[in-house]
Homo-oligomer: A and B are copies of this chain.
Amino acid sequence: MTWQSPKGTRDFFPADLAAIQHVESAWRNASINAGFDEIEGPMFEHLDLYTVKSGEGIVSELFSFRRAGGDTDYALRPEFTPTLARMAAAKGRSLSVPTKWFGIPSHFRAERPQRGRLREFKQWNVDMLGIDSPSADAEVIATAIRALADLGLTSDDIVVRISHRDVVAKMLLDGGLKEEQLQVALGLLDKREKMPAEIFVEKAEEAGIDPSVFTPFDNETEASHEDLATLQHELKQWDIAEWCKFDFSIVRGLAYYTGIVFEIHEANGNERAIAGGGRYDGLVEMFGGPSIPAVGFGMGDVVLSLVLRDKGLLGDGNDLLPTPDVFVVSAGEEGDAAIAETVSLLRNANLHARRSYKTTKNVGKLLTEAAKTKATFAVILGEEFTRGEYVVKNLSTKDQVTLQRADLIEHLKS
């Protein structure tokens, strides 16, 4: 009988985890340098937290459950914004202005797994609360770009497509859409790129919407909005204008967005969106908190890893694994009896120390094992150890010295 991980989830063996941690490390570093404080919330929330704003329709996309014998509905969190809004609301009037939070939580979606879309994934969330001006939108976008640049991506690889809910709504209404069809039309527009044109037309007609209202989004549109003018000025300040363009086919699927919205894509349109975000000025108040403006984004690990791998910027993780400072081998009975004690000495000195678990007097074989781990040094408990001496070999230079116990740590740390 063999066992597999659930469909749409992943086992992270050491190299796999090292690769994802490399990405997380760029995310965390960009966030901390930009003055965001890390937070985390529960892996599951009350189901209501998601249905209150998005409606019961979202339930099919969630993993929801009850405790055996319990009567409370929970759901694995599909995104972080509701948790963040709840946490901000809990702070009430004591919430700092601005509050700058980031996190790297796991998220869960019960949809069919597809390329770039799994049932469990990591997502970098960056949120800034309390600043009404598009300068905050520019700062969170700059933070996203800082991390992508640190991972090796350039403005040739990546485009930030920026839009505004008000502009999109005006374009649709000017084209003849009825006001009451707006939410449905925004939802359709959000999914438009992901389906063939004829299917899209079919879906629009099914919803009772004339597909021609979407025609203006085929072309680059000149549109003016005060927020966008301010944002453009700020993006230049951050020196990231060349990474960004306005694109009013971007609307974001989630109902809570209120103004500027954006997505980050691979520049040639490969893969799904790398990140998505925008303004959600009403959400904290909706969860019982103060009325506070907010802007943020989420960037998942799955699409980003595909893009990085495609561009040769992320390997299989094997070269990212920690390598030992020292590898201890024993080639004799005295050494065998003292190897644990030697390893203990080294680890207590905060060295990364591994050892061979083989019993052999073949030092060459043991040194081959040491070299395989990419250790900096090998410590050999051999013939010399019968006189209490340690042979230390630098595995790159092949230089070898014989040391007393008292000099061992200093030599290995130098």
A11 within 8 A of B: yes
- Work out how many copies of this chain go into the complex: 2
A362 within 8 A of B: no
A353 within 8 A of B: yes
Docked-complex contact B321 and A37, CB < 8 angstroms: yes
| Contact-residue bracket for chain A | 35 or more
User: Which residues of B have CB within 8 Å of A35?
Assistant: 324, 352-355
Docked-complex contact A45 and B6, CB < 8 angstroms: yes
Across the A-B interface, give the 8 residue pairs with the lowest CB-CB distance, nearest first: A65-B65, A9-B42, A14-B37, A35-B354, A2-B288, A237-B340, A12-B40, A3-B86
State the Cβ distance, A339 to closest chain B Cβ, in Å.
Answer: 8
A66-74, A196-204, A291-299, A395-403: which lies at the interface: A66-74
User: A65 CA to B10 CA in the complex, in Å?
Assistant: 18
User: Which residues of B have CB within 8 Å of A37?
Assistant: 14, 321
State the Cβ distance, A328 to closest chain B Cβ, in Å.
Answer: 10
A39 within 8 A of B: yes
Extra 5 A-B pairs, beta carbons < 8 Å, given A4-B86, A11-B83, A64-B68: A2-B287, A11-B39, A12-B39, A35-B353, A68-B110
Annotate A80-95 by CB proximity to B: 1 below 8 A, 0 otherwise: 0001001101110000
User: A1 CA to B138 CA in the complex, in Å?
Assistant: 32
Nearest-neighbor residue (CB-CB) of A352 within chain B: B33
Docked-complex contact A322 and B32, CB < 8 angstroms: yes
A142 within 8 A of B: yes
Nearest-neighbor residue (CB-CB) of A107 within chain B: B43
A351 within 8 A of B: yes
